Structure 1
Amino acid sequence: MKRKKSILFIMGKLDSGGVSKSMLNLLNVIDKEGYNISLLLINTTGVFTNNVPKGVEVLMDKRLTALTNGVRGVAELMRWGYWGLALASLFKLFLASISKVYAGLWLAKIMPCIVERPFDLIIDYGGQHQLYYMVNKLNGKKKITFFHSDYHKWNYYERADRQYLAHVDRIYTISETCVNALREVFPEYADKVRLMENILSPTLI
């Protein structure tokens, strides 16, 4: 029997925004008979967390959620006895007051690796610290990142993203405008940029 290829998606939080709905739409229509599909949720407090379709393995860890829950998360880490992570998370809050970029890089560094097995394909669906975490800590034969907006409006991550985009195989975005923005900001990676418009799932609707 032919081995089914494994795909891991990384999502920050399944909240009420457009990116979350796009993620759920994709998970609803993707071929779960032909592929082993997993979803790593960084933060499990989103309103759509329980709407992940059957056939998708959900990977989660309370430490990851706490690291992205601000002061409340720091208190939770302390209550659970993760003092080192609590201090690291406090430092992240300090860095965030100086630079979102430094805070994102630091967060990716301190996030524990909760899945060590290899995947045929890993897809970061949110960018920034999820991209950095995927590149630094997860084992995938191929790696893809998504960017869901016009990069010109989010260019404060440019310096860090430039470093990490060198380690992905493709960069997907949702419109021709967004494609052009990425190619203008990162001309050295222009051949990696691809268009994939948002999918609508009749099942989810």
Structure 2
Amino acid sequence: MLNKKNIVFIIPSLGAGGGEKSLVNLLNVIDYSKYDVDLILLHKIGLFINMIPSTVNILEIEGEDYNLFSQGLIKSVLLSLKKGKIKLAFNRIVFASKNNFIKNKAVAEQKSWKNLQNFIPVFQKKYDAAIGFLEKTSIYIATEKINSIKKIGFIHNDYEQLELDPKRDVVFFNKLNHLVTVSEECETVLKNTFPILSSKIQIIYNIVSTKLINSLAENQNPNEIDENVTSILSIGRLHPQKGFDLAIETCHIIKQKGYEIKWYIIGDGNERANLTNKIKKYGLENSFLLMGLRENPYPFIRKADIYCQTSRFEGKSIAIDEAKILNKVIVTTNFTTVKDQIKHDINGIICDVNPNDIAESLIRIINDKEKQKKLIKNLSSENLGTESEINKLYQLIEN
């Protein structure tokens, strides 16, 4: 009988981010006849929880100290002091201070690991491979808290754009057998930032299944999409990285020029209040609509006229890949990795990262029905499924 390999993935939660979506897709194509899979979550929450295969064993971090630490700040500190855990209370306060006052949240997560690490126990189970599936904490746990033969880390973004401190990360990256990223541009950035680690760095593209996406896209007909005007759709966390503030300004410009559009945003995040205020400022309450999260966004992509990505930076956009599979007209900003996915004027339109240029590109494509047909035709001839990328992960684990 074949001896299965034990592997474990680590990710903070299964919220509606690209890295989380990428992990769900990966877990749905793994060969479970060859691998027993555990998934460690810091918080068992998120939109994608229900999409994890039943064959995956979901684990949470246990232990009294971590349970205390993970409470809200005041409750955590009071309970820790009551139990005489002064060091824990102190570190919880410092952890909260860093995460509240350091503007760059990625850097805050880097720096606050020092205050969290002593309260996460070492996992006793032995694994063939531990895979930190996001930058920062996931990789730190994989290297420091898991007993495994292989250690693999994933970087899902342009490392330079995250503005992380490489001196902090290189300590952990040195302990990895492999450092994986999701596009050629991301690979180049990592090799330039960590030249001594070049031999460890390689690409595994995000896994997307054309069959699954097309099937899910036919599941429903979303009534929220207004068929009487041009509909534009964007998907992503409500975070400055995604440029939805630029999208609001773009929508205002297009409306001022006399075009009737409705722009729909699927996603949620910390920027909701700021974006809502900006929508009100421009009087776009009926034209720029924050839809919240959707477990199945594909019917919305299918029904929308245009998919628009307004990101300031990306690793590799899963949403663009999904829009390509559904043969959508795509307009995207010129973030550093976009040319790994879109060829300008062939399978999409690339514009500068500013509202005027985004608006001009959208207006041009709205007016040019022949160009729309050309883009769609070119997309329909592409081979877009990437399920075979799982074989690259198998090779890292086995070799």
Give the TM-score taking structure 2 as reference length: 0.46
Contact 1:66-1:74 at 8 Å conserved across structures: no
Going from structure 1 to structure 2, the CA distance change for 1:62 and 1:178 (only over 3 Å counts) comes to same
Question: For structure 1, which segment, 34-43 or 139-148, has the greater mean C-alpha deviation from structure 2 after superposition?
Answer: 34-43
1:112-161 alpha-carbon deviations (Å, 9 max, x no partner): 33x31110001000121221222112101000000001111123231111
CA RMSD of aligned residues (A): 2.5
Question: For structure 1, which segment, 127-136 or 100-109, has the greater mean C-alpha deviation from structure 2 after superposition?
Answer: 100-109
Is 1:4 matched with 2:7? Answer: no
1:18-68 alpha-carbon deviations (Å, 9 max, x no partner): 111101000000111111111001111222223211100111136657746
Matches within 5 A, 1:59-74: 59-61=59-61, 67=69, 72=72
1:41-96 alpha-carbon deviations (Å, 9 max, x no partner): 11112222232111001111366577467xx2652685697773454322211233
Is 1:117 matched with 2:120? Answer: no
Q: Which residue of 2 aligns with 1:141?
A: 149
Write the distance in 2 (CA, Å) between the matches of 1:150 and 1:31: 30
Write the distance in 1 (CA, Å) between the matches of 2:74 and 2:47: 22
Write the distance in 1 (CA, Å) between the matches of 2:90 and 2:138: 21
Write the distance in 2 (CA, Å) between the matches of 1:56 and 1:150: 29
Matches within 5 A, 1:140-159: 140-159=148-167
Larger Rg: 2
Aligned-residue offset at 1:194: 0.6
Greater relative CO, 1 or 2 (CA 8 Å, sep 6+): 1
Contact 1:38-1:59 at 8 Å conserved across structures: yes
Q: Which residue type is aligned with residue 39 of structure 2?
A: L
Matches within 5 A, 1:178-193: 178-193=186-201
The alignment of Structure 1 onto Structure 2 pairs a total of residues equal to: 202
Q: Which residue of 1 aligns with 2:225?
A: none
Question: For structure 1, which segment, 156-165 or 32-41, has the greater mean C-alpha deviation from structure 2 after superposition?
Answer: 156-165
Report SS of the residue matched to 1:156.
Answer: coil
Q: Which residue type is aligned with residue 108 of structure 1?
A: Q
Going from structure 1 to structure 2, the CA distance change for 1:86 and 1:50 (only over 3 Å counts) comes to farther
Write the distance in 1 (CA, Å) between the matches of 2:114 and 2:139: 10
Going from structure 1 to structure 2, the CA distance change for 1:156 and 1:83 (only over 3 Å counts) comes to farther
Write the distance in 2 (CA, Å) between the matches of 1:49 and 1:86: 31
Q: Which residue type is aligned with residue 36 of structure 2?
A: N
Contact 1:170-1:192 at 8 Å conserved across structures: yes
Q: Which residue type is aligned with residue 125 of structure 1?
A: F
Q: Which residue of 2 aligns with 1:102?
A: 111
Question: For structure 1, which segment, 128-137 or 16-25, has the greater mean C-alpha deviation from structure 2 after superposition?
Answer: 128-137
Report SS of the residue matched to 1:43.
Answer: coil
Aligned-residue offset at 1:104: 2.6
Q: Which residue of 1 aligns with 2:96?
A: 93
Write the distance in 1 (CA, Å) between the matches of 2:212 and 2:35: 19
Question: For structure 1, which segment, 41-50 or 121-130, has the greater mean C-alpha deviation from structure 2 after superposition?
Answer: 41-50
Give the counterpart of 1:167 among 172, 175, 182.
Answer: 175
Q: Which residue of 2 aligns with 1:17?
A: 17
Write the distance in 2 (CA, Å) between the matches of 1:145 and 1:203: 27
Contact 2:68-2:79 at 8 Å conserved across structures: no
Q: Which residue type is aligned with residue 195 of structure 1?
A: I
Is 1:28 matched with 2:32? Answer: no
Sequence identity, in percent?
Answer: 28
Q: Which residue of 2 aligns with 1:54?
A: 54
Write the distance in 1 (CA, Å) between the matches of 2:68 and 2:13: 12
Question: For structure 1, which segment, 124-133 or 56-65, has the greater mean C-alpha deviation from structure 2 after superposition?
Answer: 56-65
Aligned-residue offset at 1:110: 2.6
Aligned-residue offset at 1:200: 1.2
Write the distance in 2 (CA, Å) between the matches of 1:52 and 1:79: 34
Contact 1:109-1:133 at 8 Å conserved across structures: no
